[in-house]
Amino acid sequence: MRRRRLEPDARREQILSVAIRLFGSKPYADVSTTDVARDAGVARGLVNHYFGTKKDLYLEVVRVMLTVPEVALEQLPEGELPERADSIVSWFLDVVSRHSTSWLAATGAGGMAGDADVNAVIAEAVDVAAAGVLRAVGMGEDPSPALRGMTRSYVGLAIWTAQEWLQRGVLTREQVHVLLSTALVAMVEQAFPQAV
């Protein structure tokens, strides 16, 4: 039997990439650690050695899937609210359409929603997105819990709308953009003031 011995970091990275591919295409229960090990050309025990339990591996996968480049989010236009809203919506749609499959699989929690740890990882990513939205609309300074909650709700709207666009294909990007922009403006002007 020919074994190949790799640096721990390299092996871990290789197994993780295989896991990302599998968990991105099938729900959690339909991916066995045996599948991951086989596709990685490795004994199943090695997967546990590097990642602990199967759920731990899945958590790593979701973390990677939801990690998003927030560089372009730095330079936001200084215009009025509608322009700012357009800008943040465009950024969101760009990100989501680029990583569509993996991103949608992760936010849909491909078969592990409801689990406390998985929820925590998703919630953290949603928090990051919500913080970006709040900064974009000029309310990013020390937001109250209620305000952050409302913004997370808006991110939920964005996720669902993206699904209608990218998975169901019943909406055009233009329609999605209009919907998310108008909703954001309306919420900022009328609902958010109630949550200062």
Measured from the CB atom, the residue of 136 and 150 that comes closer to a copy of itself is 150
Check if the beta carbon of residue 172 is closer than 8 Å to that of residue 64. no
Figure out which of the listed residues 1, 71, 170, 196 binds a copy of itself, where binding follows CB under 8 A.
170
Q: How large is the C-alpha radius of gyration of the chain?
A: 19
Q: How far is the CB of 58 from DNA (least distance, A)?
A: 10
Total residues in contact with DNA, by rule CB under 7 A: 25
Binding partner selected for residue 5 from a copy of itself, DNA, none, CB under the kind-specific 5 to 8 Å limit: DNA
Q: How far is the CB of 41 from a copy of itself (least distance, A)?
A: 27
Using DSSP, how many helices (H) and how many strands (E) does the chain show?
9, 0
Q: How far apart are the first and last CA of the chain?
A: 66
Residues 8-41 as b or e (16 or more Cβ within 10 Å = b) = eeebbeebbebbbebbbeeebeebebebbbeebe
Of 21-60, binders to DNA (CB under 7 A) are 31-34, 41-46, 48-49, 52-55
Measured from the CB atom, the residue of 67 and 119 that comes closer to a copy of itself is 119
The residue whose two tokens read 């190949």 is 4
Cα distance between residue 155 and residue 50, in whole Å:
34
Measured from the CB atom, the residue of 42 and 105 that comes closer to a copy of itself is 105
Interface contacts to a copy of itself, rule CB under 8 A: 27-29, 105, 108-115, 145-146, 148-150, 152-157, 159-161, 163-164, 168, 170-172, 174-175, 178-179, 182-183, 185-187, 190-191, 194-195
